[in-house]
Each structure stands twice: as structure tokens, then as C-alpha cells.
Amino acid sequence: MNPADHAVTWIKVERPTFDLVGVLVSSFEITGFLLAAAVGLGGLLGLSLIYHRRRSGSPPLDAVSLRLH
């Protein structure tokens, strides 16, 4: 085999750089989204529990209370 038969093509590629600001901003965006989702779901759960307990009339511990006076 002749070495001239195998052509080598070189492509200039820029040196990779680390974008610290981009990583921090994207992590804060993800954290903010998760925080908002957790607060929203927790608020909905809390409101639903308050609504159901007010509708039932008696506190849930009355059924198992020993009524010690």
C-alpha cells in the first residue's frame, strides 16, 4: 500500500471551554421551577385537607379519644 492512497483530512476545532455562568443560571432555573412546583402542590394539598376537615364537622381524633376529664 502506498501512503499517498490514504488521505488525512484535518478539521480545525475550537478548544472547548467551560461555561460556569451558564451552568449556575441553568441550575438556578431548575431549582426555582422545582421550588415553585413543591410550593404549589403543598399549597393545594394543605387547602384540600383544610376543606375536608371543615366539612366533616368533628376533629379526626374524636373517634379514638379516651375523653379523660
Q: For 21-67, how does the pLDDT look when each residue is reduced to its tens digit (9 = 90+)?
A: 999 999 999 999 999 999 999 999 999 999 988 887 665 565 566 66
Residue 10, pLDDT score: 87
- Total of domains in the chain: 1
In a domain, 42, yes or no: yes
pLDDT at residue 6, as a whole number: 77
Is position 43 within any domain? yes
Report pLDDT for 8: 81
Contact 59/53 with Cβ under 8 angstroms?
yes
User: In this structure, is residue 35 part of a structural domain?
Assistant: yes
**Is position 32 within any domain?**
yes
Q: Quick one: average pLDDT of 15-20?
A: 92
Asked whether the beta carbons of 68 and 61 are under 8 A apart, the reply is: no
Question: Is 53:60 a contact under the CB 8 Å cutoff?
Answer: yes
Q: What is the dihedral of CA 29, 33, 38, 39, to 10 degrees?
A: 90
Q: What is the pTM of this model?
A: 0.56
Q: Is residue 12, in this structure, part of any structural domain at all?
A: no
Q: Is residue 26 part of a domain?
A: yes
Residue 29 is part of which domain span? 22-49
